[in-house]
Structure 1
Amino acid sequence: MAFAPTLAVRQSSLVMSPFSWNGNRSGYFNPSLEKYEEIPSDIGIPFNVQPKMKALEIAQKARDAILSRKFDQVRVNIANEDMVGHTGDIEATIVGCKAADEAVKIILDAIEQVGGIFALTADHGNAEDMAKRDKSGKPLRDKDGKVQTLNSHTLNPVPIAIGGPGLAPGVRFRTDLPNAGLANVAATVMNLHGFQAPDHYEPTLIEVVDK
């Protein structure tokens, strides 16, 4: 099985970005097949003070890489919802989410231009629900009646979106994987590149249906 060159765009201060991309390794698997672009984070500035973080700069770097057509895969980590969400500052998190949305649009527009494919997902939820809740789902309140803020990861299911003009006809999500998770994304991405995933991988999320 052959692997194509890839480019990972990340913020240097977000250790989970390279660490996670490379199977809990911070270094290259093969420098001749990979290239990292580091965009330094703001130093000493809380995320809720600078909630846009470096999302737009990362998106622009990814856009340039995509439009260059030099890479067969560009992996991007946009962490605003996670990092700003951990501050518990809801207003700042909203600003961060809007910045992430804008960044994603820049990347998707570039994919559209080159006729590519995108796979968009996350490793956990964080900003979609920032209220502590009781077992019935009702928000918990403090002694003054204010809703208690949740600033940790959530346990809500995380969606994945796959599309783009390069997606082959008949590709659809499988319906026989009710408990699929992040581990299934690896085989899915390999399939999107036209490769067969090894048998020990978790099953792919997609299938091709003849029309």
Structure 2
Amino acid sequence: MKNNPTLLIILDGYGYSESTEHNAVAQADTPHLHNWFKNYPHALLQASGSAVGLVDGVMGNSEVGHMTIGAGEILPQPLTILNTMVQTHSLDTDQTLTEAYNTLNNADNSLHIIGLLSDAGVHAHIDHMVAFVKSAIANRVKRIYVHVILDGRDVPPQSALLYLDRLQKELDNFKNVQIASVHGRFYAMDRDNNSDRIEESLSVLFGHVDPEDKDAQAVVEDSYLERVTDEFIVPTLLTSDGVIRPGDGVIFCNFRADRARQLTKGLLDTVDLSFFVTPVQYHPDLATISLIERPVADNTLLEQLTKDDLSIFTIAETEKYAHVTYFFNNGREDKYDNEVRVLVPSIKIQDYTKEPCMSAKEITEIVLDSLETNPKDFYIINFANADMVGHSGNFDATKKALECLDSELEKLFEQAVTKMDGTMYITSDHGNAEVMYDNESRQPATSHTTSPVPFMMLKKTLANKPHTLPLSGLKDIASFIIKNIKD
């Protein structure tokens, strides 16, 4: 089998849209990608809403996209599970929460609710944050401090004032709740081990800085005057009463783990808390209490390959490494015995528009070396460019990112397909780069989309034989690949 390798390449954030306006995917000079989709078997796959276990109309994201591809089935996602808990008011009587609240009430400590202030449903949802506040109120918690993380990435770049107003109207109903700090997600939700960014947020949460004499809305307005958008607003303390102290309790509302782990670890490593509650488990090594268990897939793609004694090669750069490992394997942290994993460091830079190729060339070189010297049966390769550069809203930079990918993919095609008679599948986990402007907000579009994503099957014998493949969603990829490997 190793002489005829199979490559599954996930172009993160590479969606499909009939409209070419503000569409970096359509307008980029990517002759190979356009040619392959036109002249090889292909399909358009649903990658959002109920097709990946989310609510209809909710954009897809990297976590659920990789999870659905790897699981080969649609799994209920934390967003939908939490929505049900909110709608049924079950948070008010949840045993885990009520026991946690009682420890605070008995010791006269404060509750801190941290979360991304957004309704995109990618990492968190504002309705969940409000529901946690109401749950604590219902259980007579005396002091509640809310620490908001501003989005500006999965929602328009300057939309924080709308969400703050929405939140404040809810909080105004209670005398013992206030917003204690604000943080741009660039700092509080780093996932690339940039400790300096996390430290900025931790310094605020622990009161190592002086509070500003202003409210959250004023912090945002002043940042806009400096041309700083929501994502990059510097962490700011609003009241010294709201710093996290020993014996306090924390609820982190984010239900997606990858961008919550570092801040959580920093908090747990620094202060002795009464409890730290999270919607889902962020990591087995973090001493948190989770409210819900993730549904488990019966037989993931890699489990099936492992049972067939096929060797596996998994590679991504830091930004998406958790997605091709932890999420792709349905929450499994450890690699399989027959699996090689390679983490390529992401460039340490604030703005990927300055380096739109990111680490794509390094990934390609490593895969080519493996194919030429010690080929494996199955390769899982993630290229982060379309998503990470697409999040900038910079149209020209996103086109350059796609053009870089086109060049790198051609190298892999020549080696794996042309020379080794292998099969190369190209797909995506969700859309992004195909919609680069939001006509409604009249701002650059920095978020994911609900667009379908391409799927292509490249093989020597299939050249110039285009037809629509019998796949409708990301869930169909695993079974299709297994079938073709065994044929």
With the length of structure 2 as denominator, give the TM-score of the two structures.
0.34
Of residues 94, 98, 102, the one that matches 2:407 is 102
- Identical positions, percent: 25
CA contact (8 A) 1:7 1:73 kept: yes
Matching residue of 2:373:
68
CA contact (8 A) 1:11 1:54 kept: yes
Of residues 145, 164, 167, the one that matches 2:459 is 164
Matching residue of 2:355:
50
CA contact (8 A) 1:41 1:54 kept: yes
Work out whether 1:92 is the aligned partner of 2:397. yes
Shift of 1:156: 1.1
CA contact (8 A) 2:314 2:380 kept: yes
Taking structure 1 as reference, are residues 51 and 158 closer, same or farther at Cα in structure 2, changes over 3 Å only? same
Distance in 2 separating the partners of 1:20 and 1:103: 25
Matching residue of 2:434:
128
Matching residue of 1:135:
none
Of residues 478, 481, 487, the one that matches 1:186 is 478
Q: Secondary structure at the match of 1:35?
A: strand
1:182 maps to amino acid: L
Larger radius of gyration: 2
> Cα RMSD (Å) of the superposition?
2.3
Distance in 2 separating the partners of 1:149 and 1:80: 17
Q: Looking at both structures, which has the greater relative contact order when contacts are Cα pairs under 8 Å and sequence separation is at least 6?
A: 2
Work out whether 1:23 is the aligned partner of 2:334. no
Taking structure 1 as reference, are residues 109 and 54 closer, same or farther at Cα in structure 2, changes over 3 Å only? same
Residues 140-172 of structure 1 show CA distances to partners (whole Å, capped at 9, x for unaligned) of 464xxxxx21111111111100021266xx997
Distance in 2 separating the partners of 1:42 and 1:165: 35
CA contact (8 A) 1:65 1:74 kept: no
From the two aligned structures, give the one with the greater helix fraction: 2
Q: Secondary structure at the match of 1:43?
A: coil
CA contact (8 A) 1:60 1:106 kept: no
CA contact (8 A) 2:427 2:456 kept: yes
Shift of 1:46: 2.0
Distance in 1 separating the partners of 2:311 and 2:324: 18
Q: Secondary structure at the match of 2:364?
A: helix
Shift of 1:67: 2.5
Taking structure 1 as reference, are residues 127 and 110 closer, same or farther at Cα in structure 2, changes over 3 Å only? same
Work out whether 1:78 is the aligned partner of 2:383. yes
1:115 maps to amino acid: D
CA contact (8 A) 1:85 1:126 kept: yes
CA contact (8 A) 1:67 1:114 kept: no
Distance in 2 separating the partners of 1:129 and 1:141: 13
How many residue pairs were aligned?
Answer: 177
Of 59-68 and 103-112, more deviation after overlay is shown by 59-68
Shift of 1:69: 5.0
Taking structure 1 as reference, are residues 9 and 185 closer, same or farther at Cα in structure 2, changes over 3 Å only? same
CA contact (8 A) 1:124 1:154 kept: yes
1:25 maps to amino acid: R
1:102 maps to amino acid: S
Shift of 1:16: 2.1
Work out whether 1:149 is the aligned partner of 2:461. no
Of residues 423, 428, 431, the one that matches 1:117 is 423
Runs of 4 or more consecutive aligned structure 1 residues displaced over 3 Å after TM superposition: 139-142, 170-175
Shift of 1:4: 0.2
Q: Secondary structure at the match of 2:396?
A: helix
Distance in 2 separating the partners of 1:126 and 1:163: 23
Distance in 2 separating the partners of 1:65 and 1:45: 31
Q: Secondary structure at the match of 2:457?
A: strand
Taking structure 1 as reference, are residues 141 and 38 closer, same or farther at Cα in structure 2, changes over 3 Å only? closer
Distance in 1 separating the partners of 2:381 and 2:461: 19
1:50 maps to amino acid: E
1:24 maps to amino acid: G
Distance in 2 separating the partners of 1:69 and 1:193: 19
CA contact (8 A) 1:85 1:127 kept: yes
